[in-house]
Structure 1
């Protein structure tokens, strides 16, 4: 399978990455129609059902800790295929109240030699009403669904909370958790909202609107002190979890000739940066909230290391593009071997073990 994907990747990587993503989306949407039973075949190959990976978190059952991060399935069109590929949960979006085209193209770049991506998409999406119509037909899903919500580009920061309120109201009955995105670098001034005062006001407004968990996603470019303070403020005001982290605009991390001077970096180039800020936040908040690790995770050992650092769940994105459709299975199988080697009967025993030592 890896050889087949390497061959396919060598062809796909000759084309514009956004075009390839669209092809992948169309393929995922139509796979079961064109080839009946194909998703069942995929699920048999990719889904790992092992009680040692199962957790009861955030009001839902997670059969394994690996989720697809926001930005891959922006418009909630690929749930069936992504579920068949073995993900333990799916995050759709980021979407906004009104449809918007996103930033000017080209806005997605492969840094192939570094197994990384640089994106400046800008919350391009079909808008909440179209996405709501899709999700209503599919919820509840076999695995938990997280709604990643953002503000429209044309919404001024002083009215940003209104956008988040609208989205929480509209999706409260058709998702299993919300992810508040104020950390994307691709919407002008969005990261300016990463302040404790805004977080306090935001959560005071949106928490009463839903019984579903609300998770805050933070930037890896914050100082560790600010990341901790922001996360503490979010948890104190009702956040049920923290995702560490979004993409980075620290361009010193890459030596690629394809590097642009705009857009957020993801993939291997941010592994170390993301790991370090996750550790800083986890050392302070482990046991006080659910921690989700994201950023440069592309193998079982890296996933397991972050689990031991305090992550209950893991998110991948860029590694899915570079490693292929079997990555979820490979990471889960690898984590099971690492749990067994350390003598743990369940993943919950390994979560935060490095902090508890």
Structure 2
């Protein structure tokens, strides 16, 4: 059954209920249908040498990864890997389990192929996720742990350090999420003092690469200062960028949560381009926000992205999107005379 047939049924459900149904289906797929993951892998995985890269000491089979937020509790890692991703990021999760914000908190903006969410780091907590990961790690794909603070915690630094200690042997890199708009005062942590202290302490705990996920609503000058300082303190890269709180993009009355999808394609693209001009070559750059085609992915790669993450586009276009992007990327590389994607990264900046 293709996604085009399933999508109308899913879209009859509230967005969060549809997501829970997809999660349940993926988790139970291999149990109910032995060999299903092998079938999916055969159908969706693109094995192309031109797309492979070695970054951060890790092998990426292609540059398309899953952004944090989709698999908050690391329950879908095996089935998601069969869909053809080059890397996966689980979370955002917190030290203690928490329910997140009040429902409804996830909304489809179908006409704009976008989402608006105010989830609030709902997750099962580090103990359950640790137990789950210990059964599958190390994994065939690079796994990123996207970590955040508990909503009611007044010790943000300790929350992040606790998760770094607990997961340093259960992931390949960390993403420090201080840019979600859905946890009160979280974006206030996007400051040099907090990040400096966090990174200094983090390097005493783990040698795993640490990436910082930033908000696209920051002023460019301030964002650059923050990133340059983070590099000096040991950060290995940046995810540019998280969801946006630019509610002028909306035609509804909801002025809360974060916007993702097509509505922020241009905004995040411009934000990425301006930061990449200064940061390219100094750190690993992952482009995120509004990527739903090979053309957009390739544009950001040529402007300095080593890797690209998607999420919202999956909701509207389905799992075949990953294969479609990777196959088209391979063709775009050949058209431009590149043997490997590494040659295309930052081509517009060289």
TM-score, length-scaled by structure 1: 0.97
**Offset, 1:337:** 0.6
Equivalent residue for 2:115, pick from 97, 117, 136: 117
Number of the residue aligned with 2:83: 85
- The within-5 A match list for 1:139-154 is 139-154=137-152
Q: How far 1:58 moved relative to its partner?
A: 1.1
| Structure 1 position 7, deviation (Å) | 2.4
1:269 aligns with 2:263: yes
Return the alpha-carbon distance in structure 1 between the equivalents of residues 49 and 201 of structure 2.
38
* Number of matched pairs: 350
Give 1:6 deviation, angstroms: 2.0
Cα shift readout 1:120-154 (whole Å, capped 9, x = no counterpart)? 00000000011000001010111010000000011
Hey, what does 1:131 align to over in structure 2? 129
Q: Distance in 2 between matches of 1:209 and 1:347?
A: 33
Distance 1:350 1:279 in 2: 15
Aligned partner of residue 199 in structure 2, secondary structure: helix
Distance 1:208 1:332 in 2: 37
Q: Which residue pairs with 1:35 in the alignment?
A: 33
1:71 is paired with a residue whose SS is coil
**Shift of residue 260, structure 1, vs aligned partner:** 1.7
1:325 aligns with 2:319: yes
The 1-side partners of 2:58 and 2:208 are apart by 10
Matched with 1:216 is: 212
Q: CA RMSD in A?
A: 0.9
Q: CA deviation at 1:254?
A: 2.2
2:177 to 157, 165, 181: 181
Aligned to 2:15: 17
Q: Is 1:339–2:333 an aligned residue pair?
A: yes
CA distance in 2, matches of 1:119, 1:233: 30
Return the offset for 1:283.
Answer: 0.3
**CA positional deviation for 1:77:** 0.2
1:236 and 2:268 equivalent? no
Once the two structures are overlaid, the 10-residue window that deviates more, 198-207 or 240-249, is 198-207
Structure 2: stretches of 5+ with no match in the other structure:
none
Q: Deviations over 1:247-267 (max 9, x none)?
A: 001011122x4x522110000
User: Separation in 2 of the partners of 1:230 and 1:115?
Assistant: 31
**1:45 CA displacement:** 0.8
Distance 2:69 2:11 in 1: 19
1:290 is matched with which residue: 284, 288, 298? Answer: 284
Note the C-alpha offset of 1:227: 1.3
Q: SS of 2:170's equivalent? A: coil
